[in-house]
């Protein structure tokens, strides 16, 4: 599989598996269904993987294509996270290992410029993510005067996606890959099944207040959701298939009924699945 195929596979897994509070094939929510997310991934792929494109251009083209088919913001966070990874894979080349890909990603982030920021700002403004609010410096409502990485650094303390740009994707290469490694056999890849995806999702939601919920409802509400996730994370880390428990589905419906969508945790999950796939750390369920 090439990176584009790994991206589409990660997006498909995202909605194939129940992740409480998020849209899935088993449970639509927030006015959206799984098909809308699959259509969005298909639309975004061309812009994300355009050879030689700048990161900002990848983001802007992918978001514009998504809005054309979905009519709403379905994947802004995924696009923001995956655009630098796509550029880094192109720079590192096929077969690059973890260290080489991470080094290439650092180079991509270091070379982001003001034009990248302007393109990304236009994409964010067009997508109109929920609860965005206003910032004291480099607000998305105005053209930025700093590089994209510098702009993300200004938001890193309140947004987990921005933090990845500022801190070299430490959550994906740390928390994300570690959670997947825990699901694999010694020295082998993790199986891309429901239990693996749910454990990965909980590794983020059960540790960090979700930035999407923080923006819309405040830190206290986001922390309460993380507290709800923590026992599920503990069970998943013990190897339990938490999705088999009817209470897991009930929690999913409860979050949706309260209007709580841990979207940032889902975005980090998708990006981690994409990253792991390109590194050969994820084995499709259909593999022997």
| Residue 237 maps to a domain | no
For the stretch 113-161, pLDDT in tens is: 999 999 999 999 999 875 444 454 545 666 888 999 999 999 999 999 9
Contact 121, 143 (CB under 8 A): yes
Judge whether 10 lies within some domain: yes
The average confidence (pLDDT) of the chain is 93
CA 141 to CA 153: how far, in whole Å?
17
Say what the pLDDT of residue 77 is. 96
The answer to whether position 221 is within a domain reads no
* 180 within domain boundaries: yes
State which residues form the domain around 79.
3-189+267-281
For residue 48, which of 76, 17, 15 has the smallest C-alpha distance? 76
**Which residues are within 8 A (CB) of 95 and not within 5 positions of it... i.e. 6 or more apart?**
none
Assess contact for 285 and 191: CB atoms under 8 A.
yes
Given its phi and psi angles, is residue 218 left (phi above 0), alpha (psi -120 to 50 degrees) or beta?
Answer: left
Per the CB < 8 A criterion, the answer to whether 249 and 21 are in contact is no
Beta bridge mates, 190 = 282
Q: What is the pLDDT of residue 62?
A: 98
The percentage of residues in the chain with a pLDDT greater than 90, rounded to a whole number, is 88
In a domain, 53, yes or no: yes
The answer to whether position 107 is within a domain reads: yes
Q: Give pLDDT, residue 1.
A: 83
Domain presence at residue 220: no
In a domain, 61, yes or no: yes
**CA–CA distances in Å: residue 251 to residues 46, 65, 194:** 36, 33, 16
Q: What is the DSSP letter of 176?
A: I
What's the CATH number where 141 sits? 1.10.4200
Between CA 113 and CA 119 the distance in angstroms is 10
Q: Do 196 and 272 touch, CB atoms closer than 8 A?
A: no
Domain count, the chain: 1
């Amino acid at each position: 599989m090439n990176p584009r195929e790994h991206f589409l596979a990660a997006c498909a897994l995202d909605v194939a598996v129940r992740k409480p509070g998020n849209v899935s094939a088993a449970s639509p929510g927030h006015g959206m269904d799984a098909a809308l997310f699959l259509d969005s991934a298909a639309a975004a792929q061309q812009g994300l993987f355009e050879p030689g494109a700048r990161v900002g251009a990848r983001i802007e083209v992918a978001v514009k294509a998504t809005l054309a088919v979905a009519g709403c913001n379905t994947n802004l966070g995924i696009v923001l996270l995956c655009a630098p990874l796509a550029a880094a894979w192109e720079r590192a080349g096929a077969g690059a290992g973890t260290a080489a890909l991470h080094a290439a990603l650092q180079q991509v982030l270091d070379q982001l410029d003001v034009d990248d920021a302007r393109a990304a700002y236009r994409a964010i403004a067009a997508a109109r993510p929920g609860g965005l609010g206003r910032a004291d410096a480099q607000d998305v409502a105005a053209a930025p005067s700093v590089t994209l990485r510098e702009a993300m650094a200004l938001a890193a303390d309140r947004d987990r996606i921005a933090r990845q740009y500022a801190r070299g994707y430490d959550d994906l290469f740390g928390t994300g890959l570690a959670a997947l490694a825990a699901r694999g056999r010694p020295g082998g890849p993790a199986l891309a099944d429901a239990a693996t995806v749910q454990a990965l999702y909980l590794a983020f939601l059960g540790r960090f207040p979700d930035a999407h919920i923080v923006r819309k409802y405040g830190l206290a509400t986001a922390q309460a959701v993380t507290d709800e996730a923590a026992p599920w994370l503990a069970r998943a880390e013990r190897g339990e298939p938490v999705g088999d428990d009817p209470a897991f589905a009930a929690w999913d419906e409860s979050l949706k009924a309260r209007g709580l969508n841990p979207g940032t945790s889902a975005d980090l999950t998708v990006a981690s699945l994409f990253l792991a796939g390109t590194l050969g750390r994820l084995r499709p369920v259909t593999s022997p």
